Structure 1
């Protein structure tokens, strides 16, 4: 209905009665659905004014849903592997799209005393310029951190080797350095 009616953030949605008639369901069902949407932060009710669509561009709905999806034990085991696959694909994309500025940015980051793996790969995945890949990666990274299943400590030299491969536009060297960084077999 939101798409069909062309509603956007800040627009008022129809009343419970109108929704009930339009959707051909009982008002209690509509009320329950609206309450759930409000709890998720997708709509807001203003007393005496009505119910309005909130700006949910940066909403955490995907992260919330991932909490339920990742309850399965097999899915939990696959999270790290999937995160690594996304990072490797992001490295491939980065090689195709990189420029002097992106390499300079990574070099500057590696020149600092503190290297944090998530921050380093955040730059890589963002510069790979695939928004969906980035969103999925953030969820997986956050999940790994929350579960304490992030990889073991890496050293500055490991990231420097990765950067060398990127600078040379050498996908094979880059991915080899990545596998070494993550302590992965060549199967992945």
Structure 2
């Protein structure tokens, strides 16, 4: 934990200094991961994780095909904020996972309104032909059906950041996904969410949602 924290803080510190030296301001583009890795002398994976954390905090934003831009890098307490909230903190990890779960549930609700027979068949075919089901890939497909770009972006950041904090990867049973697809095909919200709770081993009753 200590080494990871030091790496994050050092990358953020050097990035802030670079922004000041280069005279960059809100709305300006920052160098690519590769350029930052070379300039700051850190591995690309460390730079990528630091940028993900900064994006989660709303300090930078990535625009597909355009690059990464500064949103608000002026906060004097940025390093303290990162060290107390974002870096390997168990509460942060739980918060990220909980928020990711909520977004997945909302995307399932949206998907229920938009899903069609073709979507169902494609999902079934994919689940049945995969040797091992990749949970992220399954929910990417659900989010695509939900067709909400903001959810897509937030979920992607949360997913990547959670994986950077927790290297364990849960493998779910094929049948779990087939049951979820069946509930979606029936357009039954209560059943869909109930299956999701079972999939994620959540103990909270769906009456709360």
Question: Structure 1 segments of 4 or more deviating over 4 A?
Answer: none
1:182 — aligned with what?
A: 200
Q: Which has the larger radius of gyration?
A: 1
Task: Choose between structure 1 and 2 for higher RCO, CA contacts under 8 A separated by at least 6 residues.
Answer: 2
2:16 — aligned with what?
A: none
- Structure 2 length as normaliser, TM-score? 0.59
Equivalent-residue separation in structure 1 for 2:68 and 2:178 (angstroms): 34
State whether structure 2 residue 194 is matched by structure 1 residue 168: no
- Could you tell me which of 140, 150, 157 is aligned with 1:139? 157
Equivalent-residue separation in structure 1 for 2:69 and 2:166 (angstroms): 22
- Aligned 8 A contact 2:128 2:174 in 1: no
2:86 — aligned with what?
A: 70
1:126 — aligned with what?
A: 144
Q: Kindly tell me: are residues 31 and 142 of structure 1, through their superposed partners in 2, closer, same or farther at Cα, counting changes over 3 Å?
A: closer
2:107 — aligned with what?
A: 90
Instruction: State the SS of the aligned residue for 2:203.
Output: coil
- Could you tell me which of 171, 188, 191 is aligned with 1:153? 171
- Could you tell me which of 98, 110, 128 is aligned with 1:81? 98
1:57 — aligned with what?
A: 63
Q: Kindly tell me: are residues 38 and 186 of structure 1, through their superposed partners in 2, closer, same or farther at Cα, counting changes over 3 Å?
A: closer
Equivalent-residue separation in structure 1 for 2:28 and 2:197 (angstroms): 42
Equivalent-residue separation in structure 2 for 1:155 and 1:60 (angstroms): 37
Equivalent-residue separation in structure 2 for 1:72 and 1:60 (angstroms): 24
Equivalent-residue separation in structure 1 for 2:194 and 2:141 (angstroms): 19
Q: Deviations over 1:76-135 (max 9, x none)?
A: 320000000000000000000111221122111111122110000010011101100010
- Aligned 8 A contact 1:83 1:137 in 2: yes
- Aligned 8 A contact 1:151 1:182 in 2: no
Pairwise CA RMSD: 2.9
Equivalent-residue separation in structure 1 for 2:68 and 2:205 (angstroms): 34
Equivalent-residue separation in structure 2 for 1:169 and 1:158 (angstroms): 17
Unaligned runs of 5+ in 2: 1-19, 33-61, 74-81
- Structure 1 length as normaliser, TM-score? 0.65
State whether structure 2 residue 49 is matched by structure 1 residue 32: no
- Aligned residue pairs total 142
2:125 — aligned with what?
A: 108
